[in-house]
Amino acid sequence: MKTQICIIGGGPSGLLLAQLLNNNAIDTVVIERRNKEHVLSRIRAGVLEQGFSKMMRDAGCGERMDKEGEVHSGFQIADGNRLKRIDLSKLTGGRTVMVYGQTELTRDLYDARERANGLTIYNVEDVNLNDLTTDAPVVEFSVNGETEQIYCDLVVGADGFHGVSRKSIPKGKLTEHGRTYPFGWLGILSRTKPVSSELVYARHSRGFALCSMRNKLLSRYYIQVPISDSVEDWSDDRFWNELRSRLPDSLLSSLETGSSIEKSIAPLRSYVAEPMSYGNLFLAGDAAHIVPPTGAKGLNSAGADIYYLYRAILDRYLRDDKTGLDNYSSKALTRVWKTQRFSWWMTSLLHVFPEATSFEKRLQESELNYLLSSENALSLLAENYVGLPY
Ligand code: RFL
Ligand code: PHB
């Protein structure tokens, strides 16, 4: 089989790029390790920067997002019983974020790909990326017991943190940086009215909590838990009691509880692999970098990669100019590291670190006091939260 761009991974990064390219008559094949239902069963991101939502529209996939997504002009930070609204719109000259679930957005991208008759091959196994440093890379894999080969010009590794693409780069050519945090997020989805019309990030001596949502009748809540905990340790009742204990009293009368329809624990990790390219392989999204979810930056950071890569690929095909591809890694990494810094900072500010000394605990308190009392500091938070420019 032949194509121009072979995309490894049918998550949001891979599908968005495929759709943007297909709209420019650049041929793509997407290969995905799972089936579509599995990909669509993962509950993940909920907050989109304007740059990301604009790309969805540019890809012709923004209609449902604009109808069903909620535009948020602020969020709240709680510290014990103190509650402060961060007016994103006022602090950033009118910018906002969009609350629209990754599951829905991925469904929109799959629908668009099917409408455009784009080829997606599911359930692929034993994926091997060959001849990456030549002008004719070959992607080999098996599907339904048959071995297949895709001959292409470029390979895009959009196969997430555990994918094969990054691992196909020889060890000596890649530098990895990272940190794991000594806690995870236990998340639940419930068919209840959200406790607040805006997101609430709560710092508390028992641990961090986040109140988020998917729509007016679907809530998404997270609490910080020890990384050694498993989902079985947390009945719904235990979850709600713990959440209640971490939220300010003023919110408790609005907290609706109910049975969970999804419950999972996500580890928190910061990670960057550089460079993000090797020959004609280009990494994008979680395949190259991971952030802890505290600043809602994972999917958005993936979106920035897609923006740079999309334009670089257009230059290559429409203007016969390869400079964009040559510069892709360094351009993407500059923004990736800013996002890493912000996500690390927001995680450090709001979580309980079990090993922290009394000095570090007092510094954390002071950092939050400063933030909540300084318009300048709040502007920095807001500028990063709504998304840095591409
Ligand atoms: P994905 O979504 O992991 O998709 C990769 C796809 O590649 C497939 N794959 C392979 N395919 C072919 N061959 C192989 N060998 C393969 N190996 C893997 C996988 O099956 C999968 O379908 O990566 P992508 O597309 O780069 O997207 C990244 C985002 O999913 C991720 O950054 C976000 O979900 C992170 N994240 C958040 N990001 C935000 O911007 N805002 C948020 O509010 C937000 N909240 C979150 C989050 C992530 C979370 N978890 C669970 C880590 C909340 C949580 C709890
Ligand atoms: C979510 O709704 O899943 C969500 C929102 C904001 C975050 C992380 C996750 O910072």
Residue 249 lies in a domain: yes
The tokens of 5 are what?
A: 């761009």
The predicted pLDDT at position 211 comes to 98
Instruction: Supply the range of the domain harboring residue 231.
Output: 181-268+352-386
Q: What is the pLDDT of residues 90-146, one digit of tens each?
A: 999 999 999 999 999 999 999 999 999 999 999 999 999 999 999 999 999 999 999
Asked if residue 163 and residue 126 are part of one domain, the reply reads yes
Residue 149 lies in a domain: yes
Asked if residue 25 and residue 104 are part of one domain, the reply reads yes
24: pLDDT strictly greater than 90: yes
Asked if residue 150 and residue 160 are part of one domain, the reply reads yes
Q: What is the pLDDT of residues 218-242, one digit of tens each?
A: 999 999 999 999 999 999 999 999 9
Asked if residue 165 and residue 284 are part of one domain, the reply reads yes
The predicted pLDDT at position 375 comes to 97
Query: 204, 289, 297, 351: which one is catalytic?
Result: 297
Asked if residue 166 and residue 114 are part of one domain, the reply reads yes
The predicted pLDDT at position 246 comes to 98
Q: What is the pLDDT of residues 3-17, one digit of tens each?
A: 999 999 999 999 999
Q: What are phi and psi of 289, to 5 degrees?
A: -155, 150
The predicted pLDDT at position 370 comes to 98
Asked if residue 361 and residue 344 are part of one domain, the reply reads no
Query: Above pLDDT 90, what percent of the chain?
Result: 98
Asked if residue 132 and residue 33 are part of one domain, the reply reads yes
Rounded Cα–Cα distance for residues 204 and 350 (Å) = 8
The predicted pLDDT at position 358 comes to 98
Residue 79 lies in a domain: no
Asked if residue 298 and residue 245 are part of one domain, the reply reads no
pLDDT, mean of residues 290-296: 97
Residue 77 lies in a domain: no
Rounded Cα–Cα distance for residues 64 and 51 (Å) = 17
Residue 81 lies in a domain: no
Residue 205 lies in a domain: yes
Rounded Cα–Cα distance for residues 65 and 46 (Å) = 12
Asked if residue 207 and residue 173 are part of one domain, the reply reads no
Rounded Cα–Cα distance for residues 110 and 120 (Å) = 9
Query: 194, 293, 307, 328: which one is catalytic?
Result: 293
The CATH number of the domain holding residue 256 is: 3.30.9.10
**Number of domains comprising the chain:** 2
Does the N-terminal peptide bond of residue 137 adopt cis geometry, omega within 30 degrees of 0?
Answer: no
- Which residue from 299, 307, 385 has its CB within 8 A of the most atoms of ligand 1, so it is best to mutate? 299
Asked if residue 320 and residue 220 are part of one domain, the reply reads no
The predicted pLDDT at position 91 comes to 98
> How many other β-carbons are positioned within 10 Å of the β-carbon of residue 384?
20
Average pLDDT across the chain, whole number = 97
Residue 244 lies in a domain: yes
Q: What is the pLDDT of residues 298-342, one digit of tens each?
A: 999 999 999 999 999 999 999 999 999 999 999 999 999 999 999
Asked if residue 197 and residue 136 are part of one domain, the reply reads no
The CATH number of the domain holding residue 290 is: 3.50.50.60
Residue 215 lies in a domain: yes
Q: What are phi and psi of 180, to 5 degrees?
A: -110, 150
The predicted pLDDT at position 325 comes to 98
Asked if residue 133 and residue 10 are part of one domain, the reply reads yes
The predicted pLDDT at position 41 comes to 86
Residue 42 pLDDT class (50, 70, 90 cuts) = confident
Cα of 276 to ligand 1 centre, how many Å? 17
Torsion of CA 76, 77, 81, 84, to 10 degrees: -60
Residues enclosing ligand 2, CB less than 6 A?
45-47, 199, 210, 212, 220, 293-296
